[in-house]
Amino acid sequence: MTKRMFIRLLAAIVAAPVIMRLLAWAGGERLKNWAGNLEYSTDRLYAATSLQQVQDHVKSENRLKALGTRHCFNNIADSKDGFLSLKAMNDVIAIDPAARRVTVAAGITYGQLCPYLEGKGFALHNLASLPHISVVGACTTATHGSGEKNGNLSTAVSGLQMVTASGDVLKLSRERDEETFRGAVVGLGALGVITEITLEIQPTFTMRQYVYENLPLSALKDHFDEIESSAYSVSLFTDWQKQRINEVWIKSRVEPGAAFDSTPDFFGAKRATRNLHPIAELSAENCTEQMGVLGPWYERLPHFRMGFTPSAGKELQSEYFVPRQHAVEAILAVERLRDQVSPHLLISEIRAIAADQLWMSPCYEQRSVAIHFTWRQDWPVVSKLLPIIEKELAPFHPRPHWGKLSTMSPTALKDAYKRMPDFLGLCRKYDPRGKFRNEFLNKNIFGD
């Protein structure tokens, strides 16, 4: 089913009074994830338009998965039994300017939410590389942007409403439910169907984005901390060739005392004279405005523009988080694999993320640097490369991105997440019979 057909079918059910099954295979094609590398294991796709419908559906099904915007590359969202889409439930439910909070229904995407917030004079603290993803799908997998002082997107969550396996509604808040809340926010779709999410907001701000080309690897090695702290958000793109970082993307907040001083030279890299795509051969038309042009936060924090294809489209992605203090060693370890990695790579990105308190976040109690790989879509090759990269990174105890491809063992994951037993306890409490479990969770979390 094409993306357009998926959207059209979902739009058709918005006015329906009861939960509807969508004919996912209507075009003769099975439902796939965004990148098309994963064909989901069932064609039973239902769509809800109200909390009551979600409750009724959860009660009536033995097993199901909530489906967001389908941007994960692995099978975390997959189901053999049935999907529930909340895409039509995409309203802003309430904004509280005094408390600086917004509550939204679970189907909303950042692309829908951000212009609304801007219109009300507010902003989010950070965004991922693309605005196309659902807020809930992003937060439940600990999706992140860049900036050493910025926590991942789920750190903005201050409240959740979800339908648990019994069909009951559970409300959690950061203040009231401290520990349970910290366990539930990065919930990997395992605890229930989230129907509402509350996010912290802040007064709107403007930004400028500059891109620099050809940062020598030696400069990165010697000045990593200065480079990372040079602006609100810093992204390093490399193909691991020629001992250099191909592009440095610097996103700077325009506010007293915080502006980035854009000199033509940045640690040996040269300021670009035209907009660029992270993958040099692709059109920069898909990318957010660069060259220091002033713009609102939500049109500078992502790399890719709403309404345009983000990244390359036909691709695979992997990403590993390592502790910040090992960042340079970990980067150099991957660089040593350049001759194996580069031929199959579209681009790599290196980003810094602040520590947080969310049990299943890769940044749990750990300032982190994430090393990301956008691969050519060739799983037989990539599946052989990942163990090689994982072996090189093993001394730094990497934590893989929950929504991207990795071959790390369940045992390694258990070692990496010391709150895993507590998380399992939450799963058993809210989903005692495994209604929301799937192959991914069975293997990686429950160790079956």
Ligand X SMILES: Cc1cc2nc3c(=O)[nH]c(=O)nc-3n(C[C@H](O)[C@H](O)[C@H](O)COP(=O)(O)OP(=O)(O)OC[C@H]3O[C@@H](n4cnc5c(N)ncnc54)[C@H](O)[C@@H]3O)c2cc1C
Binding site for ligand X (CB under 6 A): 34-35, 65-72, 76-77, 86, 106, 128-130, 133-134, 136-138, 140-141, 143-144, 188-189, 193-194, 310-311, 401, 403
Question: CA 272 from chain center: how many Å?
Answer: 28
Residue nearest to ligand X (CB): 137
Closest CA to 81 of 45, 33, 56: 45
Give whichever of 113 and 193 is closer to ligand X, judged by the CB atom. 193
Alpha-helical (H) ranges within 255-409 are: 327-335, 338-341, 379-393
Give whichever of 112 and 134 is closer to ligand X, judged by the CB atom. 134
| Burial of residue 2, with CB atoms counted within 10 A of its CB: 0-12 exposed, 13-18 middle, 19 or more buried | exposed
Give whichever of 49 and 271 is closer to ligand X, judged by the CB atom. 49
- In degrees, rounded to 5, the angle at the alpha carbon of residue 1 between the alpha carbons of residues 115 and 135 is 30
Q: How far apart are the C-alpha atoms of 47 and 86, rounded to whole Å?
A: 6
Closest contact distance (angstroms) between CB of 97 and ligand X is 26
Closest contact distance (angstroms) between CB of 437 and ligand X is 11
Closest contact distance (angstroms) between CB of 116 and ligand X is 18
Give whichever of 120 and 308 is closer to ligand X, judged by the CB atom. 308
* Residue 404 CB partners (closer than 8 Å, separation 6+): 72, 73, 74, 317, 318, 319, 372
Closest contact distance (angstroms) between CB of 319 and ligand X is 7
Give whichever of 189 and 400 is closer to ligand X, judged by the CB atom. 189
CA dihedral 211, 300, 377, 189 (to 10 degrees): 140
Q: How far apart are the C-alpha atoms of 341 and 330, rounded to whole Å?
A: 15
- Residue 260 token pair: 């980035």
Give whichever of 69 and 288 is closer to ligand X, judged by the CB atom. 69
Closest contact distance (angstroms) between CB of 162 and ligand X is 7
Give whichever of 65 and 271 is closer to ligand X, judged by the CB atom. 65
Closest contact distance (angstroms) between CB of 347 and ligand X is 12
Closest contact distance (angstroms) between CB of 176 and ligand X is 20
Closest CA to 292 of 356, 210, 212: 210
Give whichever of 271 and 305 is closer to ligand X, judged by the CB atom. 305
Closest CA to 279 of 254, 233, 251, 314: 314
Closest contact distance (angstroms) between CB of 342 and ligand X is 20
Closest contact distance (angstroms) between CB of 180 and ligand X is 16
- Residue 346 token pair: 């579209």
Q: How far apart are the C-alpha atoms of 139 and 413, rounded to whole Å?
A: 19
* Residue 203 CB partners (closer than 8 Å, separation 6+): 121, 122, 123
For β-strands 157-163 and 316-323, DSSP reports them as unpaired
99: left (phi over 0), alpha (psi -120 to 50) or beta: alpha
Give whichever of 193 and 219 is closer to ligand X, judged by the CB atom. 193
